[in-house]
Amino acid sequence: MHSGQKLLSYMTLIESSSPSPAGCIKEDMNGKRLSGIEAFEEVMHAYIHPRLAHIEGRAIEDLYAALAQEDYEAVFRIDRSLRTRTCPNEIDTEMRRCGRKLLKLARSLYPWMSFAPLADAMQSEKAFGCPAVFYAWINFQLEIECGEAVPVYLYHHTNAYVEHCSRLLNLDEVTRRKLLMRMIDDISERWSLARLSDAPSFGSEAAYDIPIQKTL
């Protein structure tokens, strides 16, 4: 199977197993019902894209590095860091349930892969099994380069948010495509900036101590 097809198969798995629907934005920055494209773009610029690029994208890079060294303790530390930096504390149970579902689906889709270290850590509640962790774990074993895997992850989620917005606001096809192009350009720029950032890596204790970030 071509690497692009492998990536698409797994992104479909991730989307179907997310603790909340991928791309689901229903409110603007003031907590009011999303009423227009401008409000949607504001949320994407202020919260979604910074989180995707600076937190999840960087984490996937660090996960690749940890997996290359078979440093599973670093993998689990990154997993816990992702959990605390991307989700409110009150959904711990839901996040663990999502992780177990992802594990089951990943084993079904890739029966020849080894998930034992991650499965054991989740069983002992040492890890949550965040979607980005499974994404890196699987794509690393598929021998897909990190430089290819991260952009696909970012673009897929950006597209999911735009598709949701398009349905919610009943956008025509031309408007939807223009919006998607703007959002792809933005997440690409965000990722370029994130890669140049001197923020501590997720594998470090300093990164683990950073609290949940809503904006960057």
Reported confidence tier of residue 213, pLDDT bands at 50, 70, 90: very low
| CA dihedral for 146, 147, 152, 155, sign (positive or negative) | positive
Q: What pLDDT is stored for residue 54 in this prediction? A: 92
Q: What pLDDT is stored for residue 208 in this prediction? A: 41
Place of tokens 């839901």: 94
**For 130-134, what is the mean pLDDT?**
89
Tell me the two tokens of residue 173.
């096809």
Compute CA distances 116 → 17, 19, 70, 107, whole Å: 20, 23, 13, 10
Average pLDDT, the chain: 82
List, for residues 149-194, the tens digit of each pLDDT value. Answer: 999 899 988 998 999 999 999 999 999 999 999 999 999 999 999 9
Q: Which of 63-77, 97-111, 202-216 has the highest mean pLDDT?
A: 63-77
Compute CA distances 39 → 47, 76, 83, 186, whole Å: 12, 36, 27, 15
Q: What pLDDT is stored for residue 101 in this prediction? A: 84
Chain length of the chain: 216
Burial group, residue 49, by CB count within 10 angstroms (0-12, 13-18, 19+): buried
| Rounded CA separation 6/22 (Å) | 19
Tell me the two tokens of residue 178.
């223009």
Tell me the two tokens of residue 171.
């956008």
List, for residues 2-37, the tens digit of each pLDDT value. Answer: 555 555 566 666 665 555 555 678 887 888 888 899
| Rounded CA separation 183/41 (Å) | 8
**For 196-216, what is the mean pLDDT?**
48
Residue 63 has pLDDT above 50, yes or no: yes
Place of tokens 């683990």: 208
